[in-house]
C-alpha cells in the first residue's frame, strides 16, 4: 500500500508539501465497516485543503474505545480500504485514544472532524489551536454509526451468521 505511511515518513511528506504551499488536512477515526457517512466525511475533509491524511485507530485503540469484539475488520484491511479512496492521500495507524500526538508532530493546517462534533467539542481542540491550526467540521449530518450497524446486522442475519428470510 503506497499510501500507508509511518509518522516519520509523514513528517517528511508534510515538510515537502508545505514547501509547495499546499494545505495539509488531518482526519481521523476507526473506520470499522465503512459506510456512506464515512465517505461523506472524508470527501468533505479533502475539500478543506490539498493533502488529506487519515489517521486510523489501531485495533488495540478501537478495542479500548469501543469494547470487546471491535473492530470487526483488522487495521490492515481498514487501512487498505481507506487508501483505495481517491480523496485520501495518505493513511497512518495510531494506538492512542485520540490524535493529539499526531497533531503535535504533523501540525496540519486543518483538523477535520465529523458532524457528530462541533468546533467546541472536538477533543483535540486545544492542541490544534495551540499550534495555530484550525478545526473544520466535515461531512453532512450524522446518518449512522458502525456501533448502530452491527446490532442491525446481527438481528438481520441472526447470531449464527445465517441469512434471515424476509
- pTM to 2 decimal places: 0.88
pLDDT digits (tens, 9 = 90+) for 9-37: 999 999 999 999 999 999 999 998 888 89
160 sits in which H/E element = none
Q: Which residue has the cell 483538523?
A: 111
Go through the domains of the chain in sequence order and give each one's CATH number: 7-141 (3.40.50.620)
CA distance 135 to 25: 10
3-state secondary structure of 159: coil
CA distance 19 to 128: 21
DSSP state of 119: T
pLDDT digits (tens, 9 = 90+) for 112-123: 999 989 999 999
Can you give the pLDDT at residue 69? Answer: 86
Is there a contact between 56 and 78 (Cβ–Cβ < 8 Å)? yes
Q: What percentage of residues in the chain have a pLDDT greater than 90? A: 73
Amino acid at each position: 500500500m503506497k499510501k500507508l505511511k509511518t509518522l516519520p515518513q509523514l513528517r517528511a511528506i508534510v515538510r515537502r508539501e508545505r514547501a509547495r504551499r499546499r494545505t495539509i488536512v488531518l482526519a481521523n477515526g476507526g473506520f470499522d465497516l465503512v459506510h456512506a457517512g464515512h465517505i461523506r466525511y472524508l470527501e468533505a475533509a479533502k475539500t478543506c485543503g490539498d493533502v488529506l491524511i487519515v489517521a486510523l485507530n489501531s485495533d488495540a485503540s478501537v478495542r479500548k474505545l469501543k469494547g470487546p469484539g471491535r473492530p470487526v475488520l483488522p487495521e490492515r484491511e481498514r487501512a487498505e480500504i481507506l487508501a483505495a479512496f481517491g480523496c485520501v492521500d495518505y493513511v497512518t495507524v495510531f494506538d492512542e485514544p485520540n490524535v493529539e500526538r499526531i497533531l503535535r508532530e504533523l501540525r496540519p493546517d486543518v483538523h477535520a472532524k465529523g458532524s457528530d462534533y462541533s468546533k467546541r467539542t472536538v477533543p483535540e481542540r486545544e492542541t490544534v489551536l495551540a499550534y495555530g491550526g484550525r478545526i473544520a467540521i466535515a461531512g453532512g449530518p450524522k446518518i449512522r454509526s458502525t456501533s448502530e450497524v452491527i446490532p442491525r446486522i446481527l438481528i438481520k442475519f441472526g447470531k449464527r451468521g445465517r441469512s434471515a428470510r424476509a
